[in-house]
């Protein structure tokens, strides 16, 4: 039986990073496919840092980044659902000390992905957009680091990863827009409603649950971890999620409603 330890977490994190780099190069041909109306547009990458992850132009990077992000969300979302089904009684009984090989490796997989995406954003973005993405990733990476290296609070990290279920539809929404799939297409409309529903349940609902139960377990999660989660991470996510949800509603519902009024 494989021993669950920080060494295993670091090794799996490195493998995860390499896996998403490999995914990046495998999906490059897909990223080159784009609607005819956008083929003449090209904006050279103006990142501060140039690495092997730097794309030749912003449009290609956005497609590659979203496709890799969708792959991560899909894999993680499936593993989270499986873990809740397989380990729910034990996980819910003690979110602090719960750990199994599957849940720990799921957390390490996402840890590796966020390091990959951190490097990807740093290699292809600049200005306020870069800072917004990096701010989210830094908050996430610090939280993951506490848990991966101490093999502790894995149950709470699995609950945080519920957000990746919503990310499946959130990233798909952006991909539909990039590839100019019509909004009236049944798949796009179905994704729109699933995105809103899972946003409320998997992001807002999860955040409420974690806020309440981390406070309940404040004497067990560790002083430093508790202070970071309650006074930095959770307030930061409470600020970002409503803003993101408003953007989704404004684009998918409010503008759609306004266009219908203009037609009528």
Rounded CA-CA distance 220/16 in Å is 30
Residue 162, pLDDT score: 96
Taking the alpha carbons at both ends of the chain, their separation in whole angstroms is: 66
- Report domain extents, the chain: 6-29+58-262
Residues 6+ apart with CB under 8 A from 69: 117, 167, 171
Would you call 57 helix, strand, or coil by DSSP?
strand
- Per-residue pLDDT tens over the stretch 4-39: 999 999 999 999 999 999 999 999 888 777 665 555
What is the Cα gyration radius of the chain? 19
Residue 218, pLDDT score: 87
Tell me the backbone φ, ψ of residue 57, rounded to 5 degrees: -150, 160
Residues 6+ apart with CB under 8 A from 143: 157, 160, 228, 229, 233
Per-residue pLDDT at 104 exceeds 80: yes
What token pair was written down for 2?
């494989």
- More reliable by pLDDT, 216 or 36: 216
Mean pLDDT of 136-158: 94
C-alpha dihedral over 199, 204, 209, 210, to 10 degrees? 100
Rounded CA-CA distance 196/245 in Å is 8
pLDDT band at 42 (very low <50, low <70, confident <90, very high): low
Burial code (b: 16+ CB inside 10 Å, e: under 16) for 58-97 equals bbbbbbbbbbbbbbbbbbbbebbeebeeebeeebeeebbe
pLDDT band at 91 (very low <50, low <70, confident <90, very high): confident
Q: Which helix (H) or strand (E) holds 8?
A: helix 6-26
Q: Under a CB-based contact definition with an 8 Å cutoff, are residues 96 and 221 in contact?
A: yes
Mean pLDDT of 116-136: 86
**How far, CA to CA in Å, does 232 sit from each of 135, 159, 224?**
11, 18, 11
């Amino acid at each position: 039986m494989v021993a669950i330890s920080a060494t295993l977490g670091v090794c799996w994190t490195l493998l995860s990073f390499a896996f998403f780099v490999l995914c990046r190069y495998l999906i490059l041909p897909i990223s080159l496919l784009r609607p005819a109306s956008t083929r003449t547009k090209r904006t050279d990458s103006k990142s501060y840092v140039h690495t092997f992850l730097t794309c030749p132009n912003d449009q290609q990077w956005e497609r590659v980044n979203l496709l890799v992000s969708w792959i991560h969300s899909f894999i993680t979302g499936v593993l989270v659902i499986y873990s809740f089904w397989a380990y729910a009684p034990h996980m819910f009984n003690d979110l602090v000390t719960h750990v199994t090989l599957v849940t720990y490796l799921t957390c390490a997989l996402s840890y590796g992905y966020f390091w990959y995406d951190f490097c990807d954003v740093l290699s292809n973005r600049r200005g306020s957009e870069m800072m917004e993405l990096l701010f989210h990733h830094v908050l996430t990476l610090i939280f993951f680091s506490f848990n991966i290296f101490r093999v502790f609070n894995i149950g709470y990290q699995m609950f945080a990863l519920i957000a990746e279920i919503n990310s499946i539809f959130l990233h798909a929404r952006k991909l539909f827009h990039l590839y100019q799939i019509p909004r009236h297409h049944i798949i796009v409309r179905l994704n729109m409603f699933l995105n809103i529903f899972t946003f409320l349940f998997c992001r807002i609902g999860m955040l409420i649950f974690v806020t309440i139960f981390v406070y309940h377990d404040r004497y067990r999660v560790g002083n430093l971890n508790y202070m970071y989660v309650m006074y930095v991470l959770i307030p930061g996510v409470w600020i970002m999620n409503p803003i993101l949800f408003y953007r989704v509603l404004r684009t998918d519902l409010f503008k759609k409603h306004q266009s219908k009024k203009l037609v009528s």
